[in-house]
Amino acid sequence: MLAEAEEDLRQKEERRAKLAQCRQNLERVPSTDTIYFLQEFQALKIAAEEKSSLCPSFQKELSFTKSSQAVCAVKELLVTACKNQWDQLLGKGYEEPGFQGMQEAVAEPQPLDKSNNPACMETRDYFLKFAFIIDLDSDTADKFLQLFGTKGAKRVLNPIAYPESPSRFINCEQVLGENLMNRGNYYWEVEIIDGWVSIGVIAEDFNPRESYDRGRLGRNEKSCCLQWNGQNYVAWYGGFESVIQQPFFHTIGVYLEYSEKALTFFGVKDAKMTCLQQLKVARFKKGHFDAFQNKINHQFPSLFTYNLKPAFFLESVDAHMQIGPLKKDCVSVLKRR
Protein backbone atom coordinates (compact mmCIF):
# COMPACT_ATOMS: atom_id res chain seq x y z
CA MET A 1 0.00 0.00 0.00
CA LEU A 2 2.76 2.44 0.91
CA ALA A 3 4.67 1.67 -2.30
CA GLU A 4 1.59 2.40 -4.41
CA ALA A 5 0.87 5.54 -2.39
CA GLU A 6 4.43 6.79 -2.94
CA GLU A 7 4.09 6.20 -6.68
CA ASP A 8 0.75 8.02 -6.68
CA LEU A 9 2.32 10.92 -4.77
CA ARG A 10 5.25 11.08 -7.21
CA GLN A 11 2.90 11.28 -10.20
CA LYS A 12 0.85 14.00 -8.53
CA GLU A 13 3.99 16.00 -7.79
CA GLU A 14 5.04 15.75 -11.43
CA ARG A 15 1.59 16.90 -12.56
CA ARG A 16 1.62 19.76 -10.04
CA ALA A 17 5.04 20.89 -11.29
CA LYS A 18 3.79 20.77 -14.88
CA LEU A 19 0.72 22.84 -14.03
CA ALA A 20 2.84 25.37 -12.15
CA GLN A 21 5.15 25.71 -15.14
CA CYS A 22 2.21 26.21 -17.52
CA ARG A 23 0.75 28.85 -15.25
CA GLN A 24 4.09 30.61 -14.98
CA ASN A 25 4.44 30.62 -18.78
CA LEU A 26 0.96 32.04 -19.13
CA GLU A 27 1.65 34.85 -16.68
CA ARG A 28 4.74 35.86 -18.66
CA VAL A 29 2.77 36.42 -21.89
CA PRO A 30 2.48 40.11 -22.76
CA SER A 31 -1.08 41.36 -22.63
CA THR A 32 -0.84 42.49 -26.24
CA ASP A 33 0.24 39.10 -27.66
CA THR A 34 -3.16 37.41 -28.04
CA ILE A 35 -1.96 34.42 -30.09
CA TYR A 36 0.88 33.55 -27.71
CA PHE A 37 -1.57 33.91 -24.81
CA LEU A 38 -4.05 31.49 -26.44
CA GLN A 39 -1.28 28.96 -27.09
CA GLU A 40 -0.10 28.99 -23.50
CA PHE A 41 -3.67 28.99 -22.22
CA GLN A 42 -4.42 25.92 -24.36
CA ALA A 43 -1.34 24.15 -22.95
CA LEU A 44 -2.48 24.91 -19.40
CA LYS A 45 -5.99 23.68 -20.18
CA ILE A 46 -4.70 20.39 -21.61
CA ALA A 47 -2.47 19.83 -18.58
CA ALA A 48 -5.32 20.59 -16.21
CA GLU A 49 -7.67 18.18 -17.98
CA GLU A 50 -5.26 15.27 -17.88
CA LYS A 51 -6.64 12.44 -15.79
CA SER A 52 -4.94 12.23 -12.43
CA SER A 53 -3.53 8.90 -11.35
CA LEU A 54 -5.78 6.72 -9.32
CA CYS A 55 -5.23 6.38 -5.62
CA PRO A 56 -4.18 2.92 -4.37
CA SER A 57 -7.05 0.54 -4.97
CA PHE A 58 -7.68 -2.97 -3.76
CA GLN A 59 -10.24 -5.67 -4.35
CA LYS A 60 -12.27 -4.93 -1.27
CA GLU A 61 -13.30 -1.74 0.42
CA LEU A 62 -12.43 -1.26 4.09
CA SER A 63 -15.51 -0.93 6.22
CA PHE A 64 -14.59 0.68 9.54
CA THR A 65 -18.06 -0.07 10.88
CA LYS A 66 -17.87 -3.82 10.27
CA SER A 67 -15.62 -4.48 13.19
CA SER A 68 -13.84 -2.40 15.79
CA GLN A 69 -11.13 -5.03 15.62
CA ALA A 70 -10.33 -3.99 12.06
CA VAL A 71 -9.76 -0.43 13.20
CA CYS A 72 -7.45 -1.51 16.03
CA ALA A 73 -5.50 -3.89 13.82
CA VAL A 74 -5.01 -1.40 10.99
CA LYS A 75 -4.03 1.28 13.48
CA GLU A 76 -1.44 -0.95 15.15
CA LEU A 77 0.14 -2.00 11.85
CA LEU A 78 -0.01 1.16 9.74
CA VAL A 79 -0.29 4.29 11.85
CA THR A 80 3.46 4.77 12.22
CA ALA A 81 4.29 3.94 8.62
CA CYS A 82 1.51 6.10 7.22
CA LYS A 83 2.19 9.20 9.33
CA ASN A 84 4.96 10.57 7.14
CA GLN A 85 3.04 9.76 3.97
CA TRP A 86 -0.06 11.49 5.32
CA ASP A 87 1.97 14.57 6.29
CA GLN A 88 3.30 14.77 2.74
CA LEU A 89 -0.21 14.57 1.30
CA LEU A 90 -1.40 17.31 3.65
CA GLY A 91 1.56 19.44 2.61
CA LYS A 92 0.42 19.27 -1.00
CA GLY A 93 -3.03 20.53 -0.08
CA TYR A 94 -5.08 17.52 -1.15
CA GLU A 95 -8.62 17.44 0.15
CA GLU A 96 -8.90 13.67 0.34
CA PRO A 97 -8.94 12.50 3.97
CA GLY A 98 -6.80 9.46 3.37
CA PHE A 99 -6.32 6.41 1.20
CA GLN A 100 -9.45 5.32 -0.63
CA GLY A 101 -10.37 1.71 -1.16
CA MET A 102 -7.93 0.15 1.28
CA GLN A 103 -8.06 -3.63 1.39
CA GLU A 104 -10.37 -4.88 4.08
CA ALA A 105 -8.24 -5.69 7.09
CA VAL A 106 -10.29 -8.54 8.45
CA ALA A 107 -10.48 -11.50 6.13
CA GLU A 108 -13.39 -13.86 5.99
CA PRO A 109 -13.20 -16.63 8.62
CA GLN A 110 -10.85 -19.35 7.42
CA PRO A 111 -11.41 -23.03 8.22
CA LEU A 112 -8.93 -24.51 10.65
CA ASP A 113 -6.07 -26.18 8.76
CA LYS A 114 -5.84 -29.57 10.43
CA SER A 115 -3.00 -30.80 8.24
CA ASN A 116 -0.61 -28.36 9.95
CA ASN A 117 -2.06 -28.98 13.39
CA PRO A 118 -0.88 -32.30 14.89
CA ALA A 119 -3.14 -31.99 17.93
CA CYS A 120 -6.20 -32.05 15.68
CA MET A 121 -5.19 -35.44 14.26
CA GLU A 122 -5.14 -37.31 17.59
CA THR A 123 -7.83 -39.46 19.22
CA ARG A 124 -9.37 -38.86 22.63
CA ASP A 125 -7.33 -41.69 24.12
CA TYR A 126 -4.17 -39.77 23.25
CA PHE A 127 -5.29 -36.72 25.22
CA LEU A 128 -6.41 -38.75 28.22
CA LYS A 129 -2.73 -39.47 28.88
CA PHE A 130 -2.47 -35.80 29.88
CA ALA A 131 -5.68 -35.74 31.93
CA PHE A 132 -5.69 -32.90 34.46
CA ILE A 133 -8.07 -33.33 37.38
CA ILE A 134 -9.59 -29.95 38.22
CA ASP A 135 -11.19 -28.90 41.49
CA LEU A 136 -13.02 -25.58 41.56
CA ASP A 137 -11.64 -23.07 44.07
CA SER A 138 -14.53 -21.73 46.16
CA ASP A 139 -12.35 -18.81 47.31
CA THR A 140 -12.40 -17.44 43.75
CA ALA A 141 -16.11 -17.93 42.96
CA ASP A 142 -18.20 -14.81 42.37
CA LYS A 143 -21.11 -14.40 44.80
CA PHE A 144 -23.60 -15.15 41.99
CA LEU A 145 -22.13 -18.59 41.37
CA GLN A 146 -23.33 -21.62 43.27
CA LEU A 147 -20.80 -24.44 43.43
CA PHE A 148 -21.74 -28.11 43.53
CA GLY A 149 -18.88 -29.80 45.32
CA THR A 150 -15.66 -29.07 43.47
CA LYS A 151 -16.88 -29.99 39.97
CA GLY A 152 -20.05 -28.04 39.17
CA ALA A 153 -21.06 -24.38 39.01
CA LYS A 154 -24.32 -22.61 38.24
CA ARG A 155 -25.18 -18.96 38.02
CA VAL A 156 -27.95 -17.87 40.40
CA LEU A 157 -30.01 -14.72 40.91
CA ASN A 158 -29.53 -14.35 44.66
CA PRO A 159 -26.01 -13.67 45.96
CA ILE A 160 -24.34 -16.31 48.12
CA ALA A 161 -22.70 -15.20 51.36
CA TYR A 162 -19.18 -16.45 50.65
CA PRO A 163 -16.48 -15.40 53.11
CA GLU A 164 -14.21 -12.52 52.16
CA SER A 165 -11.30 -13.55 49.97
CA PRO A 166 -8.68 -11.45 48.12
CA SER A 167 -8.84 -13.89 45.20
CA ARG A 168 -12.64 -13.72 44.74
CA PHE A 169 -14.08 -12.24 41.55
CA ILE A 170 -16.43 -9.37 42.34
CA ASN A 171 -17.47 -7.99 38.93
CA CYS A 172 -17.63 -11.09 36.75
CA GLU A 173 -19.39 -14.42 37.36
CA GLN A 174 -16.17 -16.42 37.18
CA VAL A 175 -14.43 -19.18 39.11
CA LEU A 176 -10.98 -20.74 38.83
CA GLY A 177 -9.55 -24.19 39.29
CA GLU A 178 -7.24 -24.74 42.25
CA ASN A 179 -4.26 -26.34 40.52
CA LEU A 180 -1.51 -24.47 38.70
CA MET A 181 -0.16 -25.24 35.25
CA ASN A 182 3.38 -24.17 34.44
CA ARG A 183 5.01 -26.97 32.41
CA GLY A 184 4.16 -29.97 30.27
CA ASN A 185 0.79 -30.80 28.72
CA TYR A 186 -2.67 -30.73 30.29
CA TYR A 187 -6.08 -31.94 29.13
CA TRP A 188 -9.50 -31.50 30.72
CA GLU A 189 -13.14 -31.60 29.69
CA VAL A 190 -16.10 -29.44 30.59
CA GLU A 191 -19.80 -30.16 30.08
CA ILE A 192 -21.97 -27.19 29.13
CA ILE A 193 -25.31 -28.02 30.71
CA ASP A 194 -27.12 -24.76 30.01
CA GLY A 195 -26.64 -21.11 29.09
CA TRP A 196 -23.64 -19.12 27.93
CA VAL A 197 -20.41 -20.56 29.27
CA SER A 198 -16.77 -19.59 28.61
CA ILE A 199 -13.93 -22.05 29.23
CA GLY A 200 -10.27 -21.06 29.27
CA VAL A 201 -7.14 -20.26 31.23
CA ILE A 202 -5.97 -17.22 33.20
CA ALA A 203 -2.73 -16.00 34.75
CA GLU A 204 -2.42 -16.79 38.46
CA ASP A 205 -1.73 -13.15 39.36
CA PHE A 206 -4.72 -11.71 37.46
CA ASN A 207 -6.56 -9.09 39.53
CA PRO A 208 -10.06 -10.50 40.31
CA ARG A 209 -11.29 -6.98 41.07
CA GLU A 210 -10.88 -5.78 37.49
CA SER A 211 -13.90 -4.08 35.90
CA TYR A 212 -16.44 -6.16 34.00
CA ASP A 213 -15.13 -5.01 30.62
CA ARG A 214 -11.52 -5.94 31.38
CA GLY A 215 -12.12 -8.71 33.89
CA ARG A 216 -13.95 -11.19 31.68
CA LEU A 217 -12.05 -14.11 30.21
CA GLY A 218 -10.38 -13.25 26.93
CA ARG A 219 -10.97 -9.50 27.21
CA ASN A 220 -7.44 -8.93 28.47
CA GLU A 221 -3.92 -10.18 27.70
CA LYS A 222 -3.74 -12.42 30.78
CA SER A 223 -6.53 -14.82 29.82
CA CYS A 224 -8.17 -16.53 26.86
CA CYS A 225 -11.24 -18.67 26.37
CA LEU A 226 -13.74 -20.43 24.17
CA GLN A 227 -17.23 -18.99 24.61
CA TRP A 228 -20.58 -20.54 23.77
CA ASN A 229 -22.99 -17.60 23.30
CA GLY A 230 -26.14 -19.53 22.48
CA GLN A 231 -25.53 -19.39 18.72
CA ASN A 232 -21.83 -19.83 18.02
CA TYR A 233 -18.55 -20.72 19.60
CA VAL A 234 -16.23 -17.74 19.83
CA ALA A 235 -12.54 -17.74 20.75
CA TRP A 236 -11.41 -14.68 22.75
CA TYR A 237 -8.01 -13.23 23.56
CA GLY A 238 -6.94 -9.69 24.40
CA GLY A 239 -10.37 -8.31 23.54
CA PHE A 240 -10.26 -9.83 20.05
CA GLU A 241 -12.66 -12.54 18.93
CA SER A 242 -12.83 -15.27 16.31
CA VAL A 243 -16.23 -16.76 15.47
CA ILE A 244 -16.20 -20.53 14.90
CA GLN A 245 -18.68 -22.12 12.51
CA GLN A 246 -19.35 -25.42 14.26
CA PRO A 247 -22.44 -27.09 15.75
CA PHE A 248 -22.99 -27.18 19.51
CA PHE A 249 -21.10 -29.74 21.60
CA HIS A 250 -22.16 -30.47 25.17
CA THR A 251 -18.61 -31.48 26.03
CA ILE A 252 -15.58 -29.31 25.35
CA GLY A 253 -12.06 -30.67 25.57
CA VAL A 254 -9.20 -28.30 26.40
CA TYR A 255 -5.59 -29.20 25.61
CA LEU A 256 -2.81 -26.94 26.90
CA GLU A 257 0.73 -27.44 25.58
CA TYR A 258 2.92 -25.29 27.75
CA SER A 259 6.20 -25.85 25.91
CA GLU A 260 4.52 -25.23 22.53
CA LYS A 261 2.69 -22.16 23.85
CA ALA A 262 -0.53 -23.52 22.40
CA LEU A 263 -4.11 -23.97 23.58
CA THR A 264 -6.55 -26.11 21.60
CA PHE A 265 -10.31 -26.48 22.07
CA PHE A 266 -12.21 -29.57 20.92
CA GLY A 267 -15.81 -30.58 20.60
CA VAL A 268 -16.13 -34.07 22.13
CA LYS A 269 -18.90 -36.51 21.22
CA ASP A 270 -18.82 -40.30 21.55
CA ALA A 271 -15.04 -40.25 21.93
CA LYS A 272 -14.75 -38.36 18.62
CA MET A 273 -12.73 -35.15 18.73
CA THR A 274 -13.60 -32.15 16.55
CA CYS A 275 -10.97 -29.43 16.55
CA LEU A 276 -12.72 -26.10 17.09
CA GLN A 277 -9.86 -23.63 17.50
CA GLN A 278 -6.16 -23.60 18.29
CA LEU A 279 -4.56 -20.53 19.80
CA LYS A 280 -0.94 -20.51 18.67
CA VAL A 281 1.45 -18.29 16.75
CA ALA A 282 0.99 -18.94 13.02
CA ARG A 283 1.73 -17.30 9.69
CA PHE A 284 -1.02 -15.71 7.66
CA LYS A 285 -2.11 -17.31 4.43
CA LYS A 286 -1.09 -15.27 1.41
CA GLY A 287 -3.60 -12.53 0.72
CA HIS A 288 -5.35 -12.84 4.09
CA PHE A 289 -5.09 -10.83 7.28
CA ASP A 290 -6.83 -11.88 10.48
CA ALA A 291 -6.95 -9.37 13.35
CA PHE A 292 -7.48 -12.14 15.92
CA GLN A 293 -4.48 -14.18 14.71
CA ASN A 294 -2.43 -10.99 14.56
CA LYS A 295 -3.16 -10.43 18.25
CA ILE A 296 -2.21 -14.05 18.99
CA ASN A 297 1.06 -13.69 17.08
CA HIS A 298 2.07 -10.55 18.94
CA GLN A 299 1.06 -11.24 22.54
CA PHE A 300 -0.22 -14.76 23.16
CA PRO A 301 3.24 -16.30 23.89
CA SER A 302 3.63 -13.88 26.82
CA LEU A 303 0.71 -15.60 28.55
CA PHE A 304 2.97 -18.62 29.10
CA THR A 305 5.40 -16.61 31.21
CA TYR A 306 2.83 -16.89 34.02
CA ASN A 307 1.56 -19.76 36.10
CA LEU A 308 -1.85 -20.54 34.61
CA LYS A 309 -5.12 -21.76 36.07
CA PRO A 310 -8.25 -23.22 34.45
CA ALA A 311 -10.96 -20.55 34.38
CA PHE A 312 -14.71 -20.51 33.79
CA PHE A 313 -17.13 -17.65 33.09
CA LEU A 314 -20.88 -18.26 33.43
CA GLU A 315 -22.23 -15.32 31.48
CA SER A 316 -25.99 -15.81 31.23
CA VAL A 317 -28.37 -16.05 34.17
CA ASP A 318 -29.13 -19.71 33.41
CA ALA A 319 -25.53 -20.77 32.82
CA HIS A 320 -24.60 -24.17 34.27
CA MET A 321 -21.42 -26.21 33.76
CA GLN A 322 -19.77 -29.35 35.09
CA ILE A 323 -16.15 -30.42 34.92
CA GLY A 324 -15.99 -33.74 33.10
CA PRO A 325 -15.32 -36.96 35.06
CA LEU A 326 -12.04 -38.06 33.49
CA LYS A 327 -10.83 -40.46 36.18
CA LYS A 328 -12.89 -43.43 34.97
CA ASP A 329 -11.93 -42.81 31.33
CA CYS A 330 -8.25 -42.54 32.23
CA VAL A 331 -8.34 -45.89 34.03
CA SER A 332 -9.96 -47.51 30.98
CA VAL A 333 -7.24 -46.18 28.71
CA LEU A 334 -4.50 -47.45 31.01
CA LYS A 335 -6.09 -50.89 31.11
CA ARG A 336 -6.25 -51.07 27.32
CA ARG A 337 -2.62 -50.09 27.13
Q: Is the pLDDT of residue 336 over 90?
A: no
Per-residue pLDDT tens over the stretch 265-274: 999 998 899 9
Measure Cα distances from 13 to 16, 22, 91, 93, 263 in Å.
Answer: 5, 14, 11, 11, 51
Measure Cα distances from 314 to 40, 155, 198 in Å.
Answer: 77, 6, 6
Quick one: which of 314, 181, 310, 297 has its CA closest to 238? 297
Whole-number pLDDT of residue 92: 46
- 233 touches 197 (CB < 8 A): no
Whole-number pLDDT of residue 58: 43
Q: Is the pLDDT of residue 331 over 50?
A: no
H/E stretch holding 129: none
Residue 166: alpha-carbon gap to chain centroid: 30
Look at residue 104 and tell me if it is in a domain: no
* Listed range (134-148, 225-239, 312-326) with the worst mean pLDDT: 312-326
Per-residue pLDDT tens over the stretch 77-129: 665 556 556 655 665 444 444 444 444 444 444 445 554 566 677 889 999 99
Beta-carbon contacts of residue 11 (< 8 Å; ≥ 6 apart) = 52, 53
Q: Is 101 left (phi over 0), alpha (psi -120 to 50) or beta?
A: left
In the chain, % of residues over pLDDT 70: 73
Total of domains in the chain: 2
Same domain, 33 and 154: no
Quick one: which of 62, 60, 59, 70 has its CA closest to 97? 62
Q: Is the pLDDT of residue 203 over 80?
A: yes
Look at residue 3 and tell me if it is in a domain: yes
d(CA 29, CA 38): 10
- Structural domain boundaries, residue 7: 1-48
- 317 touches 155 (CB < 8 A): yes
Q: What is the dihedral of CA 323, 325, 331, 332, to 10 degrees?
A: -120
Whole-number pLDDT of residue 82: 60
- Quickly state the pLDDT bin for 20 (edges 50, 70, 90): confident
Same domain, 222 and 315: yes
Look at residue 131 and tell me if it is in a domain: yes
Measure Cα distances from 73 to 51, 162, 213, 219 in Å.
Answer: 34, 41, 19, 16
- Quickly state the pLDDT bin for 334 (edges 50, 70, 90): very low
Same domain, 129 and 31: no
d(CA 88, CA 207): 45
Look at residue 144 and tell me if it is in a domain: yes
